[in-house]
Amino acid sequence: MGSSGNFFVAGNWKSNGTKESVSKLVKELNSSKFPSDVDVIVAPTFVHLPYVVDNIDSRYQVSAQNCWVGKAGAYTGEVAPEHLLDLGLQWVILGHSERRSLLKESNEFVGDKTANALAQGMKVIACIGETLEQRESGQMYNVLDGQLSGIADRIADWENVVVAYEPVWAIGTGKVATPDQAQEVHAYIRKWLADKVLPKVSGATRIIYGGSVNDKNSAELAGKEDVDGFLVGGASLQAASFATICNANAKVAA
């Protein structure tokens, strides 16, 4: 833990689930145990949000995986922050690499969406991360700078932002970053926030790691100084694995 906030674990269910599987997962999550000082978030599809909000234990917070860049209105197919707030949600994941690459979301667009969501009263899990090609060609820090600037240029207050560092080469590949690789980038992001935003923001902002986190590797990653939690994809669909990950920091502290 390098930040002053609670350890933070978010489960990104991505475009997965049926009414039946979601209800089973919620039931299992409701009987999972984790320390009360860990913030645990789950992010189902838009379609499953109302069910999860109504049925999941209040120890969990619920997040959307995306939202529109402006107010509600004539934007066919989009879901605006107002809709999420109306359901009782506080959190939204923005800038996930799958959206950046498949839907061509630019740094500026992700920054605009972040600013809009925050202005409307939401909290944002803002994702950044480099591809393998960018890492191997020495472009990693430039890429991360651009992604961070896209956000920092558009927001003044970081209180409701969690930064998720997700190296694209580690997402869904089973190829997790080593704890040292994660720590190196997390320390870089923390310094970037101190230098480019404010030391106070750097000390308070949770920087979480994502990319093939599972019940086997989470404790070692959580032991790294600047790893303040996780954004979990695949393993968040298994309640038992997710519970182990939610307990990773307690294991470190014990």
The two beta strands, 229-232 and 207-210, are: parallel
Query: Residue of minimal CB distance from ligand PGA?
Result: 233
Alpha carbon separation from 135 to 2, 117, 139 (Å, rounded)? 24, 30, 6
In the bound complex, what is the minimum distance in angstroms from residue 138's beta carbon to ligand PGA?
24
For residue 44, state whether it binds ligand PGA (rule: CB under 6 A): no
In the bound complex, what is the minimum distance in angstroms from residue 254's beta carbon to ligand PGA?
24
- Residue 103 burial class via C-beta count within 10 angstroms: exposed 0-12, middle 13-18, buried 19 and up: exposed
Among 126, 144, 163, 171, binds ligand PGA (CB under 6 A): 171
Residue from 48, 105, 166, 186 carrying the catalytic annotation: 166
In the bound complex, what is the minimum distance in angstroms from residue 116's beta carbon to ligand PGA?
22
**C-alpha to C-alpha distance for 111 and 153, rounded to whole angstroms:** 8
**C-alpha to C-alpha distance for 97 and 166, rounded to whole angstroms:** 8
String marking each residue 226-245 x if it binds ligand PGA according to CB under 6 A: -----xxxxx----------
Question: b/e per residue, 2-38, with b = 16+ CB within 10 A?
Answer: bbebbbbbbbbbbebbeeeebeebbeebeebebeeeb
In the bound complex, what is the minimum distance in angstroms from residue 65's beta carbon to ligand PGA?
9
Q: Is 166 considered catalytic here?
A: yes
Nearer to ligand PGA, 201 or 239 (CB): 239
Residue from 96, 98, 105, 186 carrying the catalytic annotation: 96
Task: List interacting residues with ligand PGA (CB under 6 A).
Answer: 12, 166, 171-172, 210-213, 231-235
Active-site positions?
96, 166
